[in-house]
Amino acid sequence: MAVNTKSSGATIAATDLRGKALSWVGHHRQVCIESLSSLLQTWMSSLMTWLVIGIALALPTILYLMLVNVGEISGSWEGKPRISLYLVHEATEADALDLAHRLLERPGIESTLFISSADALAQFRSLSGFGDVLNTLDQNPLPGVIEIKPSITDVGQLRLQVESLRTYELVDTVEFDLEWIERLFAMLQFAERLVATLGFVLALGVLLIIGNTIRLAIENRRSEIEIVKLVGGTDSFVRRPFLYLGFWYGLGGALVAWILVQGSLLFLSTPVETIAQSYRDDFALSGPGILDSTIILIVGAGLGVSGALLAVSRHLSEVEPE
Q: Which numeric CATH code is attached to 83-175?
A: 3.30.70.3040
| Domain spans in the chain, listed from the N-terminal domain onward | 31-76+184-318, 83-175
Rounded CA separation 100/83 (Å): 12
Q: Is the pLDDT of residue 59 over 50?
A: yes
Average pLDDT over residues 75-82: 58
For 153-200, write each residue's pLDDT tens digit.
Answer: 777 788 888 888 888 888 888 888 666 767 777 888 898 899 999 999
Give the per-residue pLDDT at 24.
Answer: 74
| pLDDT, greater one: 78 or 319 | 319
Q: Is the pLDDT of residue 238 over 90?
A: no
For 92-151, write each residue's pLDDT tens digit.
Answer: 888 889 888 998 888 888 888 888 877 877 776 666 555 565 566 667 777 888 888 888
Give the per-residue pLDDT at 189.
Answer: 85
| pLDDT, greater one: 275 or 62 | 62
Give the per-residue pLDDT at 78.
Answer: 45
List the one residue out of 267, 266, 264, 252 whose CA is nearest residue 297: 252
